[in-house]
Structure 1
Amino acid sequence: MNPDLIKQKIKEVEPLFIQGLTKIMKINSVKGEATEIAPFGNGPKKALLATLDLAEELGFKTKMVDNAVGYAQLGEDNEEYIGIIGHLDVVHEGTNWDYPPFDLTLNNDCFYGRGVLDNKGPILANLYALYVLKELNFPFTKTIRIMFGTDEESGSADIPMYLAHEKPPMYGYTPDCKYPAVYGERGVLCIKLVTQITDNSLNSLTSFNGNFDRSAVPDSLSFSISQNDYALTGKRAPSNAPDLGENVITLFAQKMVQENLVSGEFFEYLTWLSNSFHEKHDGSGLGIDFFDAESGKLSLTPVNLEFQKDTIILEFSTRYPVSITKDQIIEQLQKVLPLETNLSITREMSSTKFDPHHPMIQKMTKVYEALTGLDGTPVTTTGATYARSMPNIIAFGPSFPGQKGIAHNKNEYMDKVDLMKNLEIYTYLLAELGV
Structure 2
Amino acid sequence: MDIQKEVLKYREQLISSLQESIQIKSVEEEPKPGMPFGEGPAKALQHFLKVGEELGFKAENFDNYVGHIIFGEGEESLGILGHVDVVPEGTGWDYPPYSGMIVDNKMYGRGTLDDKGPLMICLYAMKCLKDMGVPLKKQIRMIIGANEETEWGCMKHYFDTLKMPEPTLSFTPDSSFPVTFAEKGILRGLLKIKCDDNFSIQGGKVFNAVPEKTFLTLPLEYKNLIIEELEKYNFANEYKITCEEKDNKLELISYGKAAHAAHPELGYNSLSALLSFIYVTGIKITGLSQMAKYFGENIKLEFNGKSAGLYFKDEPSGEITMNYGKAYVEDGYLYVSLDTRYPVTLKVEELENKLFALLNKYGIEFVGGKKETPLYVKKDSFLVQELTNIYKEITKDEDCEPIAIGGGTYAKAVKNCVAFGALLKETPDTMHQKNECIPLETLDTLLKIYIEAIYRLAK
TM-score where L is the length of structure 1: 0.89
The one-letter code matched in structure 2 to 1:240 is A
CA, structure 1 residues 190+51, in 2 after alignment: closer, same or farther (shift >3 Å)? closer
Q: Residue 23 of structure 1 is aligned with which of 4, 20, 30? A: 20
**Aligned 1:212-361 pairs, distance under 5 A:** 212-227=205-220, 228=223, 229=250, 230-262=252-284, 270-306=292-328, 312-337=334-359, 338-361=361-384
Residue identity opposite 1:387 in structure 2: A
Question: 1:182 Cα deviation (Å)?
Answer: 1.2
| Alignment partner of 1:88 is 2:81 | no
TM-aligned CA deviation for residue 152 of structure 1: 1.2
Aligned to 1:11: 8
2:424 is aligned to: 400
Q: Could you list the runs of 5+ residues in structure 1 that have no partner in the other structure? A: none
Cα deviation code 1:325-363 (max 9, x no counterpart):
111112222443334333342222111222433322221
Q: Which shows bigger deviation, 113-122 or 48-57? A: 48-57
Residue of structure 2 in register with 1:100 after alignment: 96
Structure 1 position 112, deviation (Å)? 0.5
What is the Cα deviation at residue 138 of structure 1? 1.8
Q: Is the 8 A contact 1:121 1:419 kept in 2?
A: no
Greater Cα offset, 419-428 or 205-214: 205-214
The answer on whether the counterparts of 2:121 and 2:447 sit within 8 Å (CA) in structure 1 is: yes
**Counterparts of 1:29 and 1:342 in 2: how far apart (Å)?**
32
Residue 417 (1) aligns with residue 417 (2)? no
Q: Deviations over 1:278-315 (max 9, x none)?
A: 22211101111100000000010212334579865433
Task: Give the match's secondary structure for 1:102.
Answer: coil
| Mean CA deviation greater in 260-269 or 27-36 | 260-269
Offset of residue 106 of structure 1 = 1.4
Structure 1 residue 366 displacement after superposition = 0.9
How far does residue 196 in structure 1 lie from its aligned partner after superposition?
A: 5.6
Aligned CA distance change for structure 1 residues 16 and 404 (closer, same or farther; 3 Å)? closer
> Which of 131, 137, 145 is residue 135 of structure 1 equivalent to?
131
Deviation of 1:384 (Å): 1.0
Instruction: Tell me, in whole angstroms, the C-alpha distance in 1 between the residues paired with 2:43 and 2:111.
Output: 15
**Residue matched to 2:237:** none
Kept in 1: contact 2:200–2:329 (CA 8 A) = no
Q: Is residue 189 of structure 2 the alignment partner of residue 186 of structure 1? A: no
Q: Report the counterpart of residue 140 of structure 2 in structure 1.
A: 144
Q: Does 1:177 align with 2:175?
A: yes
In structure 2, the CA distance between the partners of 1:314 and 1:46, relative to structure 1 (3 Å rule), is: closer
Q: Match of 2:199, SS?
A: strand
Aligned CA distance change for structure 1 residues 340 and 53 (closer, same or farther; 3 Å): closer
Write the distance in 2 (CA, Å) between the matches of 1:276 and 1:402. Answer: 36
Q: CA deviation at 1:239?
A: 1.6
Aligned to 2:452: 428
Gaps of 5+ in 2: 224-249
Q: Distance in 2 between matches of 1:59 and 1:217?
A: 41
Give, in angstroms, the shift of residue 401 of structure 1.
Answer: 3.8
**Is the CA contact 1:302–1:315 (under 8 Å) kept in the aligned structure 2?**
yes
Residues 136, 455 of structure 2: 8 Å contact kept:
yes
Q: Give the Cα–Cα distance (whole angstroms) in 2 for the partners of residues 272 and 65 of structure 1.
A: 44
Distance 1:253 1:14, change over 3 A: same
1:159 to 150, 155, 160: 155
Supply the AA of the counterpart residue of 1:122.
P
Going from structure 1 to structure 2, the CA distance change for 1:424 and 1:208 (only over 3 Å counts) comes to same
TM-score by length of 2: 0.85
After TM superposition, the structure 1 stretch with the greater mean CA deviation from structure 2, 11-20 or 261-270, is 261-270
Describe the superposition over 1:193-252 as per-residue Cα deviations: whole angstroms up to 9, x where unpaired. 33467xxxx68x534333342121112223344403222211111122111111122211
Change (3 A) 1:308 1:83: closer
Matched, 1:43 2:40: yes
Structure 1 residue 317 displacement after superposition: 1.6
1:298–1:127 distance in 2 versus 1, CA, 3 Å: same
Note closer, same or farther for the CA distance 1:427–1:249 as it changes in structure 2 (3 Å cut): same
Instruction: Kindly indicate whether the alpha-carbon contact (under 8 Å) linking 1:181 and 1:376 is maintained by their aligned counterparts in 2.
Output: no
Q: 1:376 to 1:146 in 2, by over 3 A?
A: farther
Question: Quick one: which amino acid aligns to residue 389 of structure 1?
Answer: A
Q: Percent identity?
A: 29
Aligned partner of 1:14: which letter? R
- Looking at structure 2, the residues matched to 148 and 226 of structure 1 have their Cα atoms a distance apart, in angstroms, of 48
Deviation at 1:414, TM superposition (A): 1.4
| Pairwise CA distance, 1:402 | 7.3
Q: Distance in 1 between matches of 2:137 and 2:291?
A: 63
Identify the range of structure 1 (133-142 vs 171-180) with the bigger mean alpha-carbon deviation. 133-142
Distance in 2, matches of 1:56 and 1:269, equals 52
Contact 1:225–1:261 (Cα < 8 Å) also in 2: no
Q: How many angstroms does 1:16 deviate by?
A: 1.3
Q: Distance in 2 between matches of 1:262 and 1:36?
A: 45
Count of residues in correspondence between the two structures: 426
Q: Secondary structure of 1:83's partner? A: strand
Q: Relative to structure 2, which stretch is displaced further, 115-124 or 146-155? A: 146-155
Distance 1:109-1:266 versus aligned 2 partners, 3 A rule:
closer
SS in 1 for 2:325: strand
Look up the SS of the partner of 2:324 in the other structure. strand
Do the aligned partners of residues 341 and 210 (structure 1) sit closer, same or farther apart at CA in structure 2, a change above 3 Å counting? closer
One-letter amino acid matched to 1:388: K
Q: CA deviation at 1:268?
A: 6.5
In the TM superposition, what whole-angstrom CA distance separates every residue of 1:131-176 from its partner, at most 9, and x where no partner exists?
Answer: 2222222222221122222121221111122222421100111111
Residue type matched to 2:214 in 1? L
Pair 1:213–1:160, CA change in 2 (3 A): closer
CA contact (8 A) 2:290 2:363 kept: no
Q: Is the 8 A contact 1:192 1:315 kept in 2?
A: yes
Whole-angstrom CA distance in 2 between matches of 1:339 and 1:49:
47
Aligned partner letter, 1:182: T
SS at match of 2:368: strand
